[in-house]
């Protein structure tokens, strides 16, 4: 499934590695260094940099999001629930076909 992370960005939920609070950006040299290196490679979307509340780290990209960590977590949970419903429906269809 997909998660809308704000600012017209929609990402695959399976690609998300971490969602961190923006306030950690300047308080953690590790996070700063990681983002600096990814910027050099062009792998950072900074559309919401000025209004950022969270940083979404995926397998191959980093996004600054204007949505809070808790909002993004709720969206991820909804996406996960929908995935489970899809899996259950597919399994039910398969079992009906076998009968």
Q: How far apart are CA 72 and CA 94, in angstroms?
A: 33
Q: Which pLDDT belongs to residue 25?
A: 82
**What digits encode the pLDDT tens for the residues 22-72?**
988 888 888 889 999 999 999 999 877 888 999 999 999 999 999 998 888
- Total domain count, the chain: 1
pLDDT tens-digit series, residues 11-22: 988 899 989 999
| Whole-number Å distance between alpha carbons of 7 and 67 | 9
DSSP category for residue 18 = E
Q: What is the pTM of this model?
A: 0.74
Domain range for residue 60? 2-98
Q: The tokens of 81 are what? A: 């629930």
> What's the CA gap between 90 and 82, in Å, rounded?
12
């Amino acid at each position: 499934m997909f998660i809308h992370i704000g600012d017209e960005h929609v990402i695959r939920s399976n690609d998300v590695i971490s969602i961190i609070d923006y306030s950690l950006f300047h308080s953690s040299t590790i996070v700063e260094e990681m983002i600096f290196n990814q910027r050099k490679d062009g792998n950072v979307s900074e559309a919401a940099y000025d209004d950022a509340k969270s940083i979404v780290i995926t397998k191959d990209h980093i996004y600054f999001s204007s949505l809070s960590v808790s909002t993004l977590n709720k969206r991820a949970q909804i996406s996960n629930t929908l995935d489970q419903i899809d899996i259950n429906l597919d399994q039910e269809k398969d079992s009906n076909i076998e009968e």
